[in-house]
Structure 1
Amino acid sequence: MTSSSATPARRLRVFDSTLRDGEQAPGNAMNPEEKLELALAIEATGVDTIEAGFPSSSPSDFEATKLIAQALTTAKVATLNRAVREDIELAAEAGGIDHQVQIMATGSDVHLEHKRGLTRVEGLDEIIDSIRFATELGFTDITLGIEDASRGSDDLLRPLIEAGVEAGARTVALADTTGCLIPSEFGAQVARVRSWIPDDVILSTHCHQDLGLSLANALAGVEAGADEVQATLAGIGERAGNTPLEELAAVLLYKGEQLGVTSRLRTEKLYDAYLILSRIIGMSTPRNKAVFGDNAFATQAGIHQAGMLRNPVTYEYVEPHLFGRERGILIGRHSGRSVIRNLFDQMGLGIERELLDEIYDTYIAGRKDGTCIELGDLREIITARLLRTTAPAAQMAVTG
């Protein structure tokens, strides 16, 4: 029983970066009209914010931002921008001053030296100037997005964050840009940053998948006090990708109470958005991916099927209908005879050993190439076989 004094769940904000970070990966390019179509589908999933793009990077991103900012009604629009006044002016022109303007800070000495050629003081000064300029233009929703924060030392990050918040940033986004941390490391960093900023400043996470830990790191961040997770559909993004939105949604649905958070995600809308994404960028679906994978809700193993045909809960923790999917019982060489016996029971047939062996030998045992047939197809095969058996007797009864 839950105690009446238990801490109420806090609402976790979900920020979608499919159209920006997701599109940056090779092969994922989208034109403005395609971005708009996908943005509307993503909005239907209940995310809080949709990152439309990087307006200063190309005319296409600028146009996409304009289209999306005019079309969205329930999700907020965000843009990503360098700490450059011209970028912020273009963002205002593309998305208006009511959208969330993210300003990138350089969060590690590695990037300051080898990428930017700046000193720490210069990196700090450009952030203060850019955020102040954004406030002068009328922006009120400003994010300090810290690139490569996961490799930044506290003595670099803390002055940067405190100065950014003082200048007007209302969100701080920590990026594990190279995906180099494990959950205990990232969680500890989030906890430290949380202690540096006021409670009313949103703390966001942006995790990458280079070690396969983007979701684990994001969840560690949530447990450490992060208010928001940045994610992408199917985890697409730079290199190995980002925190997968659908996997985050599944964890929040089934483990949200344990984590002490809720969200407004509509999980049943995610697969529709994924199908649009796949069509637009020509992305094939892996067999083994969680939630969206071809085999995510399918089984071929006879032992598993025997349990699932009695009650799906035996092997099915994530429920397919909650994610716009359907359960698949696929019949192949690993299925055995139990699935045929179960079908005979469902169809009100006795166990006809000769027929069972014939069906198994003809349609299951010989599938050495790994191909499968659907449960419904097998049912039709059994029905057709029974009709062929009974038809002559029925015909004799009529003509006799």
Structure 2
Amino acid sequence: MRRTRIFDTTLRDGEQAPGNAMRPHQKLDIALAIEALGVDVIEVGFPSSSPSDREAARLIADALTSARVATLNRPLSEDIRLAVESAGAERHHLQIMATGSEIHLRHKRGIQQAEAQDQVVEAIGFAKSLGVKHVTLAIEDASRGSDGLLRPLIMQSILAGADTVTVADTTGCMVPAQYGGLIARIRSWIPPEIVVSTHCHDDLGLSLANALAGIEAGADEVQTTLAGIGERAGNTPLEELIAVLTYNGEAIGATTSAKTEGLYAAFGLLCDAIGLSAPRNKAIFGVNSFATQAGIHQAGILRAPLTYEYVEPARFGRERTILVGRHSGRAILRHVLQEMKLPVDELLVDRLYEEYVAHRTNGECVSMADLRAIITERHATSSKALTR
């Protein structure tokens, strides 16, 4: 199986979304946590945008020992110079943003295709002249660009020295078959040693699906963010990509050396930094990802967790949570009694069920700890009554 390279852009694209601003030292802490997962490249920001991004780039470039650092830059010599001053040249993946669609050329930039292409080619040459080892052609809005725009841009950029081509579905407009087709065409145009990278947005909820289609079509790298944060609806979630490649890599012909352990701790650092709260139903990081209150599910899990747990909580630093609510059954009550080494009194089970399960119409749940405390108190009261 091919090993998929992971490029994380939590600290750049993730931070660009409203409410996600991070201070340089917060970025450093998160970068080190992401590096510990085994991620290959960590994008630290847009150095020309602010002194804060330049400071973060310096701090992180100095601190990383295994992952490489990346920055995003416009095709301007000043942007590139600031990026190299901040993050160095040797282990720096310097991304140069290119205009990838006729829509952007006309409505955003107001220039012709040839002019935009010349700017990018010149910028790549300038970066190489400063000693940058790895230059990426980052094609914005590539998913809406014609082959007549994309192919010459890519080929001329590679001749100028780019060794990676990032194909951005900037508006999240594609479905997997379309995005996979685009990656396959680009892969067919360029030499095998040139890395093809995916950058997918989640406007239609397809960022992960599109990235996986890209891998199957020949992409070598996937750009991700922790919890999928990023512009608008966000990006391909790092934790979900790692989970898919860990559990189902064989099915798509790809693998990863990134670790599942440490993901939830990294997510915690991100939440602390930007005030993010996990939704109930988010894969891997969601409040209810490894929780259940449905009696049918609980009965199966209590007998053998694999009945309903395909993804194992411990592998992601999570714990299984079994809650008692109105959808729970008597099996969970019997389980708690047995766990506490108390006799399974069916009359007590029925009473507990009526009092603490059947009538919970407001959606509130009782934790296993609360249920143990209730049973302990009842058992103690019953024991006292028998000794009188």
Give your verdict on TM over 0.5.
yes
1:88 is aligned to 80
1:338 is aligned to 331
2:271 is aligned to 278
Deviation at 1:344, TM superposition (A): 2.8
Deviation at 1:134, TM superposition (A): 0.6
Return the match for 2:126 from 126, 133, 138: 133
2:27 is aligned to 35
Work out the CA distance in 1 between the residues paired with 2:279 and 2:142. Answer: 31
Q: How many residues align?
A: 387
What is the CA deviation profile of residues 112-132 of structure 1, one whole-angstrom value per residue up to 9, with x for unaligned ones?
Answer: 111111101001100110001
The percent of aligned pairs where both chains have the same amino acid is 62
2:167 is aligned to 174
Unaligned runs of 5+ in 1: 1-8
1:3 is aligned to none
TM-score, reference length from structure 1: 0.95
- CA RMSD of superposed structures (Å): 1.1
Residues 162-241 of structure 1: pairs in structure 2 closer than 5 A: 162-241=155-234
Does residue 13 of structure 1 match 2:5? yes
1:356 is aligned to 349
Does residue 252 of structure 1 match 2:248? no
Return the match for 2:379 from 386, 393, 397: 386
Work out the CA distance in 1 between the residues paired with 2:193 and 2:253. Answer: 18
Return the match for 1:146 from 125, 131, 139: 139
1:289 is aligned to 282
Deviation at 1:34, TM superposition (A): 1.1
Work out the CA distance in 2 between the residues paired with 1:348 and 1:29. Answer: 51
2:62 is aligned to 70
2:293 is aligned to 300
Work out the CA distance in 2 between the residues paired with 1:335 and 1:142. Answer: 56
Work out the CA distance in 1 between the residues paired with 2:335 and 2:23. Answer: 50
What is the CA deviation profile of residues 48-98 of structure 1, one whole-angstrom value per residue up to 9, with x for unaligned ones?
Answer: 000000000111111110111011111100000001111000001000012
1:268 is paired with a residue whose SS is coil
Deviation at 1:140, TM superposition (A): 1.3
Work out the CA distance in 1 between the residues paired with 2:192 and 2:346. Answer: 70
Work out the CA distance in 2 between the residues paired with 1:138 and 1:353. Answer: 77
1:4 is aligned to none
User: Structure 1 stretches (4+) deviating beyond 6 angstroms?
Assistant: none
Work out the CA distance in 1 between the residues paired with 2:339 and 2:268. Answer: 34
Amino acid at match of 2:199: H
Amino acid at match of 2:206: L
Deviation at 1:348, TM superposition (A): 4.1
1:55 is aligned to 47
Deviation at 1:361, TM superposition (A): 2.0
What is the CA deviation profile of residues 287-322 of structure 1, one whole-angstrom value per residue up to 9, with x for unaligned ones?
Answer: 000000000000011111111111111111110000
Return the match for 1:26 from 18, 23, 31: 18
Work out the CA distance in 2 between the residues paired with 1:45 and 1:313. Answer: 25
Unaligned runs of 5+ in 2: none
TM-score, reference length from structure 2: 0.98
Work out the CA distance in 2 between the residues paired with 1:332 and 1:392. Answer: 30
